[in-house]
């Protein structure tokens, strides 16, 4: 019977190819829009992760309690050994040490006297290691206004507005005045490699980026770092996976009663990011379901109309002695075949377009000039497990339900109507 139905569908374009194409297009749009909404809603999470929070963050227990104050006197020690241990435990996570600090930038004149000064918020990243992805992760190269990236020790990047206020240009030197990890005064000379723009007023007023090795030397933090930032494979935050890894790490130090013992926190466990992650998850589901419902109505209507146009055929089959139940069952079987084929084709194309957008994205840097570090310069989709099956909701269920509603009319057919349909 199934073989007979498939042959009939293949030979009758109006019953097979066109309905399959309609279902495939609807499913493709559903799959692509789900991936697009998931990626777009997650962009803010990813930007926060890349700039400050990471997907995972390892700190000392004491540092975690006062994280907003950047207490480098409570920083992690023996960072190289800890990083090595983390790589053994979580080989798929990319770990990078970071130091956040504050200080005063002092620009000398030709005589070595102070020409201008300004308070600075500093961040130390790994710029010089060949395997480091920090510069790429923060889109620093795209935010360059003048000069180059940090290519050698004792170079620094200043925000463009800060550099203009201080009157410095790439190649000029300045002295960072701050406090070391142990509380003593720190003086360290940097050369301006280039200037960048963040697109956020608070950062553009006084931001400073330096290499992690220079910061460790200047702040008397040999083999130490304020935090180790971890990024999950795939480049997207997965709260369930992050919580699993954090729990595994923290269990290893559960019995260590030491304020300097390391503790791992997920992005969702830092500040108000947990509420935002939950909010994004909920709104992603809402927006996706609205589009799924809209596509379901379209495909439901298509299945309904397709079956209604065949009432003449049903009348002939009933007049020839075929049972009403058998006619109804064959209609449902046909709808299932059409729904499955259309959903498979539509999901395949939807995943293809989603993968292309996830991999390459849509470059928006020309529209967001000057704001690419704190705002995503590309719009990207994100393929999740739900992307693989969400298209079958409107593609299969709606098609079958539409055919079933139309099929109920079969049981209402009367003998007097059959002659009219045969004459037509």
pLDDT of 49 reads 82
192 phi and psi angles, rounded to 5 deg: -75, 115
Q: What is the mean pLDDT of the chain?
A: 81
pLDDT at 45 over 90: no
pLDDT class of 296 with cuts at 50, 70, 90: confident
pLDDT of 413 reads 58
pLDDT at 181 over 70: yes
pLDDT at 110 over 90: no
pLDDT at 341 over 70: yes
- Rounded CA gap, 96 and 228, in Å? 6
pTM of the entire structure?
0.72
Higher pLDDT, 304 or 281: 281
pLDDT class of 21 with cuts at 50, 70, 90: confident
pLDDT of 317 reads 66
In the chain, where the domains are located? 2-46+276-423, 56-231
pLDDT of 215 reads 92
pLDDT class of 411 with cuts at 50, 70, 90: low
Q: Mean of the pLDDT values across residues 384-391?
A: 86
Percent of the chain with pLDDT over 70: 82
Higher pLDDT, 229 or 371: 229
DSSP per residue over 329-364, as a string? HHHHHHHHHHHHHHHHHHHHHHHHHHHHHHHT-EE-
Task: Tell me whether strands 94-108 and 227-231 are parallel, antiparallel or unpaired.
Answer: antiparallel
Of 278, 163, 158, 153, whose CA–CA distance to 209 is shortest?
158
Q: From residue 45, how far is each of 40, 51, 52, 139, 263 by CA, in Å?
A: 10, 10, 11, 16, 22
Of 24, 89, 368, whose CA–CA distance to 253 is shortest?
89
Percent of the chain with pLDDT over 90: 23
């Amino acid at each position: 019977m199934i073989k007979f139905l498939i042959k009939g569908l293949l030979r009758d374009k109006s019953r097979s190819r066109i309905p399959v194409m309609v279902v495939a297009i609807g499913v493709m749009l559903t799959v692509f829009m789900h991936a697009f909404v998931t990626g777009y809603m997650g962009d803010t999470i990813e930007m926060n992760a890349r700039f400050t929070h990471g997907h995972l963050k390892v700190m000392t227990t004491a540092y975690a309690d006062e994280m907003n104050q950047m207490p480098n006197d409570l920083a992690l020690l023996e960072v190289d050994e800890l990083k090595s241990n983390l790589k053994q435990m979580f080989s798929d996570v990319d770990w990078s040490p970071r130091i956040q600090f504050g200080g005063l930038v002092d620009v000398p004149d030709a005589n070595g006297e102070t020409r201008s000064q300004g308070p600075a918020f500093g961040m130390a990243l790994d710029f010089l290691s060949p395997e480091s992805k920090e510069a790429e992760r923060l889109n620093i190269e795209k935010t360059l206004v003048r000069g180059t990236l940090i290519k050698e020790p004792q170079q620094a990047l200043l925000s463009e507005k800060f550099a203009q206020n201080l009157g410095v240009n790439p190649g000029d030197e300045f002295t960072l005045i701050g406090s070391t990890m142990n509380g003593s005064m720190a003086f360290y000379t940097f050369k301006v490699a280039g200037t960048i723009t963040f697109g956020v007023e608070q950062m553009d007023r006084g931001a400073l980026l330096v290499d992690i090795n220079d910061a460790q030397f200047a702040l008397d933090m040999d083999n130490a770092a304020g935090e180790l930032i971890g990024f999950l494979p795939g480049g997207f935050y997965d709260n369930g996976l992050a919580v699993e890894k954090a729990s595994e790490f923290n269990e290893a130090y559960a019995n260590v009663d030491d304020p300097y013992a390391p503790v791992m926190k997920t992005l969702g466990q830092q500040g108000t990011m947990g509420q935002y992650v939950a909010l994004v998850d909920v709104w992603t589901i809402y927006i996706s379901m609205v589009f799924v419902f809209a596509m379901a109505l379209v495909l439901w209507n298509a299945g309904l109309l397709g079956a209604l146009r065949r009432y003449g055929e049903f009348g002939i089959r009933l007049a020839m002695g075929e049972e009403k139940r058998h006619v109804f069952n064959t209609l449902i079987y046909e709808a299932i075949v059409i729904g499955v084929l259309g959903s498979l084709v539509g999901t395949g194309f939807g995943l293809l377009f989603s993968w292309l957008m996830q991999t390459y994205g849509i470059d928006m840097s020309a529209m967001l000039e000057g704001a690419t570090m704190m705002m995503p310069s590309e719009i990207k989709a994100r393929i999740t497990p739900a992307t693989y099956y969400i298209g079958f909701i409107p593609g299969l269920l709606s098609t079958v339900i539409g055919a079933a509603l139309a099929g109920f009319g079969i049981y209402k057919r009367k003998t007097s109507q059959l002659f009219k349909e045969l004459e037509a």
